Chains A and B, each alone.
Chain A
Amino acid sequence: MFMPTTDQTLTEILNLAAAHFKVPRQRLSPDDDFFKSLGIDSLQTLDLLTKLENHFHVELPDYELQGVTDFRTLAGKIQARL
């Protein structure tokens, strides 16, 4: 079974976030604070969490996201559950 690298996971997250929140992809970088770069609040963060779980077919408990603000760390959390 194909196992993506963390960089591939990160790229998918950036593409997915850009498309879902209608932000130009080139404006997003791996170490960005996604709350700021996507302009999202806590309810929209849950929306992003659902999109990521459905896309990667993983279960990511909310508490694992506490303190996570950048795409790279988020990618690591998802990668650990693939």
Chain B
Amino acid sequence: MNTAAGTTGKTMSYELKDGIVDLVLHRTPCNEIGSQSLEELELLCEALRRAEQNVRALIIHSDLKCGFSAGADLRELYERSQAMEKDEAAKGVREFLHRIHAVLNAIDAAPMTTIAAVHGVVFGGGFELALACDLIIADKTARFAFPELRLGLIPGFGGIPRLKRDIGNAVVRDLLLTGRSFNSTKAQQIGLVSQVVSEGEALRAARATAAQIAKFDRGTSAAAKQFIKPIPHEELRREIEIFCDLFSRPAVQAGLKKFVESKDAQPYLP
């Protein structure tokens, strides 16, 4: 099913009610974003375009205990790149990046207000999905990180340009170069998160915020957003080039292999 009113997919579901689209991520183990998630995000964006006049806000959240999203599906990335010739794998990665950038740019620039209601792990590509939203509301369990450098990569879903747009460059370097994670209190202190709420309360707070947003004139809200939230297209294009250049290096395949085959108790610790 994929209608303006709602859909249930393998990795996510959404429902339109009272002008608010509630998108819930539910792919185990922790909402890793791979080809299936991408396809379903593309369908969501298409449905949002069709229903644009009826939608005032989009809320993205997860119903998995582990958190919002652990990021890109590294297992799928590794297995697919192993099954292909090097050039073919590089082409596939580039195509995937262009598609995910198109989706995240669409969410970023959507005329409705977008809210990421997050908890637990908000890592890598999951963090980048949240960064495409207008507001991030986090509960006290949320942790934000870009662990990509550990694999010999940079974030590839637009994370650096969007983070740099939203907060200071020094904080971007801290997150990027150390790979460490920030808790929600720290994330609010640096201006990344708009509200911090008790454990399990992020979705309720997001719904209350969406209801407030829905009181205002739709066109005015869209104009304000367009004015204050430019999409950093040039940097996003450069990010894809740098990512693809780094991806071709043997160290990346070795890093992916190590992560995928890891039996370490701490694979998520940078």
Contact = CB atoms under 8 A, between A and B. Distances in A.
Residue of B267, B268, B269 most packed against chain A (CB within 10 A): B269
B178 A54 contact: no
Interface residues of chain B: helix, strand, loop or mixed (majority):
loop
Nearest to B262: A42
Contact of A47 (B70, B141, B145): B141
Interface stretch (A7-15, A22-30, A55-63): A55-63
B140 A54 contact: yes
B266 A42 contact: yes
A47 B67 CA distance: 10
Interface stretch (B94-102, B165-173, B179-187, B204-212): B179-187
Interface string A23-67: 000000000000100000111011101100110000101110110
Interface residues of chain A: helix, strand, loop or mixed (majority):
helix
Interface string B182-214: 010110000000000000000000000000000
Nearest to B174: A61
B185 A54 contact: yes
B197 to A, nearest CB: 13
B30 interface: yes
A23 B194 CA distance: 35
A50 B183 contact: yes
A41 B67 CA distance: 14
Contacts, number: 59
A62 B270 contact: yes
A43 B69 CA distance: 11
B29 to A, nearest CB: 8
B140 A62 contact: no
B161 interface: no
B156 interface: no
Interface of B: 30, 66-67, 70, 120-121, 140-143, 145, 178-181, 183, 185-186, 264-270
Given A46-B120, A54-B185, A63-B179, 18 more contacts: A42-B267, A43-B30, A43-B66, A43-B70, A43-B120, A45-B266, A46-B268, A49-B143, A50-B140, A53-B183, A54-B183, A61-B178, A62-B179, A62-B180, A63-B180, A63-B269, A63-B270, A65-B266
Interface of A: 35, 41-43, 45-47, 49-50, 53-54, 59, 61-63, 65-66
